[in-house]
A and B are shown apart, each in its own frame.
Chain A
Amino acid sequence: MAFSKHNFRSNTLPAMTMAGPVTLWLAFFVAVPLIYVFIMSFCSIDEAYNVVFKFTTANYQRLFDPNYVQIYGTSLIVAFLTTAVCIIIGYPFSFLIARTTSKYKALLYMLIIIPFWTNSLIRIYGWRTFLGTNGWLNTILTTLHITSGPVQFLFNRGATVLGMVYCLFPFMVLPLYTAIEKLDKSLLEASSDLGAKGPSTFMRVILPLTMSGIFSGSIMVFIPSLGYFFVADILGGGNSDVIGNLIERQFQSGNNWPLGAALSIILILITLLLVKLYQKAGGDMESLGV
């Protein structure tokens, strides 16, 4: 033991009582379940769709089914578009809110969060009501004679991306807001003072110093969008399924848990890869959670 007797008595006991419950909790509800999933991905099923502990790699072979591969592609495209749209809209938005001198700044910040106190499903359904063939938007368009008849806005990739952006927008905005607010005003003044015009200051000072916000926001948007099956269900109508839909089907209607487990391993690997990239780029794990 490297510890002296005194240290042992004064530190280990309190440390154990304080960190112990969480350790046990995480071990039982995070680590063990993931190990189960990993094991299950190598299991077989019998005729009645019960899981049997017989080793097989069949589930992994099925992952290369062209229909599945196509969905991975769709899912990655949706995730990519969602992240891109969130950055393009979220960055200037966060910038304006974080650097406003308005006395309503706190209120403007709250207004980003308030919609999220209404259940996300029902809000997504709100979009469906708004965009549907007899929804608000179509009523407006036909009344104003912009279109001759109802337009189908729903049940395509665009609608799925819209829903994803809607659900995940604050996860992009909040880290961006934090990063932009931290930006020292005198750095921007110094840049301008030294002869840099707006775009130069943005590219050389603002963007590099807020890159961390873009990185954490992207992680928080890209990864969940691979799994939000209900968005693809409600707005995409089965025409732009994401990996989450595949997994959901195996655990509910399809009832092929081992295959679902193997599909989950794909998501876990994508997550691990992106998190590694994020850390490589100097990202701080802590800023993903606050």
Chain B
Amino acid sequence: MKRKTKAAVKKIAGIVFCGLVYLFLFLPIAVIVTNSFNATTAKPYLTWRGFTFDWYVKLFDNNTLLTSFGVTIAIAIISTLLATAIGTLAAVGMYKYKFRGKGLIDGLLYIPVVIPEIVLGISLLTLFSNTHIPRGMLTLIFAHTTFSTPYVIFNVRARLAGYDQSIEEASMDLGANRIATFKNITLPVLAPGISGGALLAFTLSIDDVIVSYFTNGQVKTFPLKVMESIKSGVAPDVNALSTLILIGTILLVILTKSDLIKKIKALVKR
């Protein structure tokens, strides 16, 4: 029984250790969710004054907060679409063709990934100020697309690593031109890589603080709104919105991961 006891002890130690790590990861979330039910109305909203759902109602009266959330989502969607489009095209192009300057593009791609975000932020600020592009929604979209695109490209490339080019040749052999082949063959095969990259781009965009902080002008995204409120204490309605966002994303992932969506689609088709 010696070996079995040893293995059991190891297993329990492992579970306890992982449990502690997850506790570490989720502790602040527990704080956020708890504080969203705090009945306190006095800044900095830290003392527990009883349980209430009020903040979830009041949240919908707080127009600046709701606007910031809308802005965040809009920027995330637009920049994700842009990054996915140009990133996918580039990944495929760079995989298929050899051309001069490819190494240079590669080098440029790694910069937004490895460089500290603050450097990207201030360099874009410098650019926009020197070229007199007014800072706002547009510059935020430019900035977010810039840091997202490399991630899309890397994800698509990872998918391309196992890609058999002869299926494209087969498509063209059967009479499809380049565009039809790209649409009917290349895109569907690469879909998992593309959607993975897009998801990452979206996540990076909605969570971005630093780059937005330097490129926003008067526009306040949700993270920037939070940043502003930190000095006076984060209000429970911000916690409430964060809780709702978290629940929303978890539901979205469960939906996309499970077969539920497929089943609904199948039902609709009937």
Contacts and interface: CB of A to CB of B under 8 A. Distances in A.
B223 A119 contact: yes
Interface in A11-54: 11-12, 14-15, 17-19, 21-23, 25-34, 36-37, 40
A11 B127 CA distance: 34
A206 to B, nearest CB: 15
Contacts of A290: 151, 154-155, 158
Interface stretch (A141-149, A150-158, A180-188, A261-269): A261-269
Contacts of B250: 114, 117
A70 interface: no
A125 B235 CA distance: 11
Main secondary structure on A side of the interface with B: helix
A223 B116 contact: yes
B92 interface: yes
Given A118-B242, A121-B223, A129-B35, A224 B234 contact: no
Centre residue among B119, B120, B209, B253 by max chain A CB count within 10 A: B119
Contacts of B158: 286, 290
Nearest to A226: B116
Nearest to B221: A119
A257 interface: yes
Contacts of B117: 224, 227
A134 B90 contact: no
Given A130-B28, A169-B25, A120 B209 contact: yes
Contact of A251 (B116, B203, B214): B214
A166 B119 contact: no
Main secondary structure on B side of the interface with A: helix
Contact of A23 (B30, B105, B227, B249): B105
A218 to B, nearest CB: 12
B40 interface: no
A121 B90 contact: no
Contacts of A227: 116-119, 210
Contact of A268 (B87, B119, B206): B119
A92 B125 CA distance: 41
Contacts of A217: none
Contacts of A248: 118, 213
A260 B97 contact: no
Nearest to B115: A271
Contacts of B206: 119
A19 B90 contact: yes
Contacts of B123: 30, 33-34, 36-37, 264
Interface in B66-115: 86-87, 89-90, 92-94, 96-99, 101-102, 105-106, 108-115
Contacts of A116: 203, 207
Centre residue among A97, A118, A289 by max chain B CB count within 10 A: A289
Given A11-B97, A29-B124, A18 B89 contact: yes
Interface of A: 11-12, 14-15, 17-19, 21-23, 25-34, 36-37, 40, 89, 92-93, 96-97, 108, 110-112, 114-127, 129-130, 132, 134-136, 166, 169, 219, 223-224, 226-230, 234, 244, 247-248, 251, 257, 260-261, 264, 267-268, 271, 275, 285-286, 288-290
Nearest to B127: A33
A126 B97 contact: no
B94 A19 contact: yes
B222 interface: yes
Given A36-B123, A129-B35, A117 B93 contact: no
A126 B226 contact: no
Centre residue among B22, B30, B93, B142 by max chain A CB count within 10 A: B93
A36 B97 contact: no
A247 B21 CA distance: 33
A115 B113 contact: no
B58 interface: no
A264 B227 contact: no
A164 to B, nearest CB: 12
B165 interface: no
A37 B238 CA distance: 36
B126 A36 contact: yes
Nearest to A107: B257
Given A21-B89, A230-B209, A264-B122, A271 B116 contact: yes
Nearest to B93: A18
A226 to B, nearest CB: 6
Contacts of B122: 37, 247, 251, 260-261, 264
Contacts of A271: 114-116, 119
